[in-house]
Structures are given as structure tokens and as C-alpha cells.
């Protein structure tokens, strides 16, 4: 049985070659959210406490509906990527794969539900 250091075990294995793309995807989505969240707050804020019909009329206009949809899609994609990084760092083995699949499915399901609701209101 050979006793190898961590460095010796890693030599020749190469990299996963996905770290840079994942890093940049997180950075791009965080910058997009930096713009979208204030827009969403300023478009959604005036409707707080308004009657149901006023909210439906407001979100049937294109700009508030598009801002809400973009915020949902980018926000849930950013959540899925961030949760995947956390799971990769702290969970190992089969449970890691199961949790990553579960988080991605949960994120896409929530985004699809939100988009369906916005489309139902806007159309």
C-alpha cells in the first residue's frame, strides 16, 4: 500500500475545466441582479396595499411584467448556482449528486411557476 500526499495524488489528474465558466456565470448574474432588484422594488413597491384589480392592471403592462420575469429567472438561476457551490464544498459522495439535482429541479420549478403566474397576469 502506498502512502501518498495530497499533492502527489492530484498530480496528473488535471482540472475539471469548469471553474472559470461557473465563476463568471455567478459574477454576471450578480451584476444583473444588482440592476434588476432595485428596478423590481421600484416597480413592485407602488402596488403594495392596492386592490387586486389595480395590481392586475399594473402588471398587465409590459415593463413591470418584464422586470418581474427577468428578476425571477436571473434570481433563481443565481440561487441554483450558489447552492450548487455550497453543496460541492460541504457534501460528498452520492448525497452531493442527489442534492445538486434536487436544488436545480427546485430552482427551475420555482422559476417556471413564477413565469407562468406573470404570463397569466400579463396576457
Stretch 63-81: mean pLDDT:
97
Portion of the chain with pLDDT greater than 70, in percent: 93
Given a contact cutoff of 8 angstroms between Cβ atoms, the answer to whether 56 and 121 are in contact is yes
Q: What is the pLDDT of residue 90?
A: 95
What band does 58 get if pLDDT is binned at 50, 70 and 90? Answer: very high
Stretch 29-58: mean pLDDT:
95
pTM, two decimals, is: 0.83
Q: Can you give the residue ranges of every domain in the chain?
A: 20-122
pLDDT digits (tens, 9 = 90+) for 74-94: 999 999 999 999 999 999 999
Asked whether residue 7 carries a pLDDT value surpassing 80, the answer given is no
Q: What is the pLDDT of residue 19?
A: 73
Q: What is the pLDDT of residue 18?
A: 67
SS3 for the chain is: CCCCCHHHHHCCCCCCCCHHHHHHHHHHHHHHHHHHHHHHHHHHHHHCCCCHHHHHHHHCCHHHHHHHHHHHHHHHHHHHHHHHHHHHHHCCCHHHHHHHHHHHHHHHHHHHHHHHHHHHHHC
Asked whether residue 60 carries a pLDDT value surpassing 80, the answer given is yes
Sign of CA dihedral 33, 39, 45, 47: negative
**CATH code linked to domain 20-122:** 1.20.1300.10
What band does 16 get if pLDDT is binned at 50, 70 and 90? Answer: low
Asked whether residue 53 carries a pLDDT value surpassing 60, the answer given is yes
Amino acid at each position: 500500500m502506498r502512502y501518498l500526499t495530497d499533492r502527489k495524488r492530484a498530480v496528473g489528474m488535471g482540472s475539471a475545466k469548469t471553474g472559470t465558466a461557473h465563476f463568471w456565470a455567478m459574477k454576471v448574474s450578480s451584476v444583473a441582479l444588482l440592476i434588476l432588484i432595485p428596478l423590481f422594488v421600484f416597480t413592485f413597491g407602488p402596488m403594495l396595499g392596492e386592490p387586486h384589480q389595480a395590481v392586475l392592471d399594473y402588471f398587465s403592462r409590459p415593463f413591470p411584467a418584464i422586470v418581474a420575469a427577468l428578476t425571477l429567472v436571473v434570481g433563481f438561476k443565481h440561487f441554483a448556482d450558489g447552492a450548487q457551490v455550497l453543496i460541492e464544498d460541504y457534501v460528498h459522495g452520492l448525497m452531493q449528486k442527489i442534492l445538486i439535482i434536487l436544488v436545480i429541479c427546485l430552482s427551475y420549478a420555482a422559476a417556471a411557476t413564477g413565469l407562468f403566474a406573470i404570463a397569466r397576469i400579463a396576457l
